[in-house]
Amino acid sequence: MFDARSAADQAFARKQFPQALAGYLCVLSAQPAHLDARLRVADCLLALGRVQSAAVVYTTFARQAANEGHPLRALVAIKILSALEPLLAPLVSAVAELYCAEGRIGRGARPVPADEELALTARDLAFVSLQGDELFQLAEHVGKETPPLRFAGALPPIPLLSELSKDDFCAVFATMTLVRVPAGERVITQGEEGQSFFLAARGDFDISRDEPDGSNTHLTSLHEGALFGEMALLSRSARSAHVVATSDSDLLELHVAALGQLSDGAAAIARALAKFTRERLVTNLINTSRLFRPLSREQRIDLVRRFVAYEVAAQTDLIREGEPGRGLYVILQGSVDVWKRAGDEKVLLATLGSSEVFGEMALLNAAPATATVTAAQRSTVLFLAREYVERLMESVPELAAYLGSLGDERALDTRMWLDNTGTFASAEEDFSIDIELVP
């Protein structure tokens, strides 16, 4: 069976825009609700210099995408329209009205899924042979026909933007840059300085990290609606991974410098970004930390709510040797160095990162800390009071067992360090690594 979509994609990649246009029209004729086909019809018309016809189709596409729960795709079209005719920029107001904090947002809402199964008729296939003015006229005619809406009621939120008011939504949108990348192109490079972050409007992306041994580890894949790149900004550190587009993709890039020029919008987006990132970090913590494995989902959520978060600057001492602990600590974001002094030297015992736990020995043995812990970078530390941890350990034996084994491992590590440095340690001495937040 003739695969009109694949043939059109291949022609588009080769910049054979008349052939690509005919193929996308074939797809759109068979399935008027096919968002990608409609967008590509507009892209082909623009590439062929049919600016007015392209604008008509982009406008139809934006309306369709917004109403069917794909607002970022709608914003892509509006960005293109704004470049063609600045007077069309206010079109974003309609999308903002739907998706701003006061709009028709439903947290459980999902966009209408794309239907890629195409049943092509002879009428649809006839578009493949069209050429010249007949092709262009039918492209505008088919491209501007509005399909029946497939989405009603609540709409899915946009990361960050749906936390904003309508006015702030529009102001932030005005600072965005549209980035259109082909499959295989790198969007973010590990180690580079982060000056922006991205909303994935369309496409698929692979996230990977170069390891010290020269290998590369695949971390995850991202798709439409994802936000990425913000962590380097929040931690004020270099990019921690590569991001590569695995399909033709559209991104909306938000630049920190441009956002900083907004008076009200900058503050609003900063609050929304902090909220979004905190929620994502907590979700990752719940799903990955061994501390939470013995608990049910309901218990995990309840436990996280009882933690108190502290932001600490780089080079801040989080604990001083000899001080007692007050409870249990978890690194939500960032990293810390654990070290002791050997005479005039500072000896690094360990560097601990996201999701790692501190303070278990102080809870198990009431022993003071025997090491200093310093924030290696700007970090967020979660604290859970001793009283609640003790009650939790009584009710969940698996949690008590995990903390006990973790404490044993760290006590052994400390003893080994003392043996290697020739420092005396009695067999009865207990060692602990604990974090107490220092004012």
Q: For the chain, list the domains and their CATH numbers.
A: 4-157 (no CATH), 175-287 (2.60.120.10), 297-421 (2.60.120.10)
Counting every residue, how long is the chain? 439
User: What local confidence, expressed as pLDDT, does residue 124 receive?
Assistant: 64
**Residue 45 near residue 57, CB atoms below 8 Å:** yes
pLDDT interval class at 347 (50, 70, 90): confident
User: What local confidence, expressed as pLDDT, does residue 299 receive?
Assistant: 78
Residue 431 and residue 338: Cα distance in Å, rounded? Answer: 13
pLDDT one-digit tens code per residue, 294-328? 778 777 777 777 788 888 888 998 877 887 777 77
Residue 300 and residue 292: Cα distance in Å, rounded? Answer: 6
With a cut of 50, say whether residue 57 has pLDDT above it. yes
10 burial type by CB count under 10 A (0-12 exposed, 13-18 middle, 19+ buried): middle
Residue 34 and residue 24: Cα distance in Å, rounded? Answer: 10
User: What local confidence, expressed as pLDDT, does residue 59 receive?
Assistant: 93
Residue 347: enclosing H or E segment and its boundaries?
strand 345-352
pLDDT interval class at 183 (50, 70, 90): very high
User: What local confidence, expressed as pLDDT, does residue 72 receive?
Assistant: 96
User: What local confidence, expressed as pLDDT, does residue 176 receive?
Assistant: 94
> What are the CA-CA distances from residue 282 to residues 71, 305, 306, 331, 380 (Å)?
26, 10, 12, 10, 11
Name the residue among 294, 307, 395, 417 with its Cα closest to residue 359: 307
Q: What is the mean pLDDT of residues 274-293?
A: 73
User: What local confidence, expressed as pLDDT, does residue 24 receive?
Assistant: 92
With a cut of 80, say whether residue 262 has pLDDT above it. no
User: What local confidence, expressed as pLDDT, does residue 429 receive?
Assistant: 36
What are the tokens at 192? 């580079």
**Residue 188 near residue 181, CB atoms below 8 Å:** no
With a cut of 50, say whether residue 115 has pLDDT above it. yes
Residue 60 and residue 20: Cα distance in Å, rounded? Answer: 20
pLDDT one-digit tens code per residue, 374-404? 899 888 888 887 777 777 777 777 777 777 7
- The Cβ-side half-sphere exposure at 428, using a 13 Å CA radius, reads 0
User: What local confidence, expressed as pLDDT, does residue 430 receive?
Assistant: 35
With a cut of 80, say whether residue 410 has pLDDT above it. no
* 140 backbone dihedrals φ, ψ, rounded to 5°: -65, -40
User: What local confidence, expressed as pLDDT, does residue 16 receive?
Assistant: 95
pLDDT one-digit tens code per residue, 80-96? 999 998 888 889 999 99
pLDDT interval class at 370 (50, 70, 90): confident
pLDDT interval class at 144 (50, 70, 90): confident
> What are the CA-CA distances from residue 253 to residues 177, 226, 329 (Å)?
5, 12, 35
Residue 137 or 232, more confident: 137
Per-residue three-class SS string for 275-344: HHHHHHHHHHHHHHCHHHCCCCHHHHHHHHHHCEEEEECCCCEEECCCCCCCEEEEEEECCEEEEEEECC
